[in-house]
Structure formats: structure tokens, C-alpha cells
Structure 1
């Protein structure tokens, strides 16, 4: 009986240790993802599955997220923008977005409008091993950025 109880105890201890390692790996992965997310200038590559084409470097759409306080800012093809962001683990949302109100060619204005529409729908993010940031609504990728 002692032998069976000892094996059972060893089994439970092993399962607990393995699950703790798994939780540690997940927490470490989340922390690394958050560290890369903050204080970098992300450059928009895709809106949905459409590649963004820029005539020059100055019109790139950018995204900068700060941690404390959690804010967002950047350039949106035509205007500068700023607002609040909430980041918790792999969840993210953008609130109270505002921008300057400069007029630009219609093509830039259309791109900017699509960008803001997508940003308002975002509720999750991932960063892959290549350093690409995916802003998603649930599992649907809305925006893709690189550093």
C-alpha cells in the first residue's frame, strides 16, 4: 500500500511540476511579447490581406505603444494620431483615438480611414518570431506591422 501511495504522490508531484513549467513558459513568452510591443516604432505592412504601398518613407503608417501610461501614437498616412491603449497579456484595445485634421490626396485619406476602422476593431495581438506584430479581432488578422 505504501508503495502505491508513494507512486501516486510522485505522479501528482510530476504533473504539478510540468504544469508549473508550462505556466512559467507562457508567462515568460507573454512578458517577452509585451517587452517587444512597447516603445518601438511599428510600420504598417498589411491592412487585412492588402499590402500597403508607400510612395516614400515619410508617408509610412506607424504605431508606437507606451507602457506607463498605456498610450498609442503614430503617423497615419496623412495625419498624426494619439490615444489610449489597454494591453493585458495577449489582449489589446485602442480607445479615445484622435488625430490632426490635415487634408491629403484621396488615396491617402482612404488608407487612413481603413487604418482607423481596423484599429477600432482590434482586441488581440501576437508577435511572431520574425518580429511581425499582428493586430487581430479574435482570430482574424486586421493589421500587420514590422519593426
Structure 2
């Protein structure tokens, strides 16, 4: 069983510069064809200050930290036993090209099902821009299969 005493643990925050080309590439990768995600003039005409990040882009930022999925080390999890269970986003603002975003991650919950055969690890990530404004919060659930 995973150590539930670690619930509430906050990982070291890190910051990432959001480059316009990266947003365009992500939009193309997810099949997003709305020109606001690839053309600055279209973005401005739509009321944005510049090119905004496409939906779900914050999940890419989670992988930019100094350690890949630091919760694995914290809880002693074997990566071969995890599965991505779910991802939810709440947008409170907009991530733009040119922003610097600070990512803060917290272990929100650990619970089990099927008599402990499966454990669910819930992470909460907050994304704050260079002005200190919270622009998004994500909840990510990992499913861990016990031996």
C-alpha cells in the first residue's frame, strides 16, 4: 500500500517560458485548426492579447519539471505499474505566448479500490503566470496496480 501520510506533500515549483512556436506545434499535434492558436492577428481579432495556449496544454508543462513524475519517487512507485486514469482542467485565466508559467504540484489524495489491488493517486497542479495570476488548475489521477 502506498504511504497515505504523504497526502498534502507539495513538490518544488518550477517555471517555464511559453514560446509561440511551441503553442503552434501543440495545436497542430492535437488537430486544433482554429487560427487563434497559430496566427497572432487572428488571436488579436478574437480578443486575445496574443496567441493563447490550446486546451489541455498545461499537461505538457507538468513534464517540464526537474523530475519526471516526482510522485513516483515520493511514494516508491514502480513506473511499470501505473496507468494514467484521468485529467481535468479548470481555467481561471489564459496562458499566452510570452508568458512565464510557474507550476506547483501537490499530492491531493491516495485511495484504493478492489481490496487494495488498485490505488489511485490524485495530483493537483496549479499554473500561475508572471503577474502572479492563477490561470489554471489541473487534477491528474494515476492508477497504480499493486503486485
TM-score (structure 2 length as normaliser): 0.26
Larger Rg: 1
Higher relative contact order (CA 8 A, sep 6+): 2
TM-score (structure 1 length as normaliser): 0.26
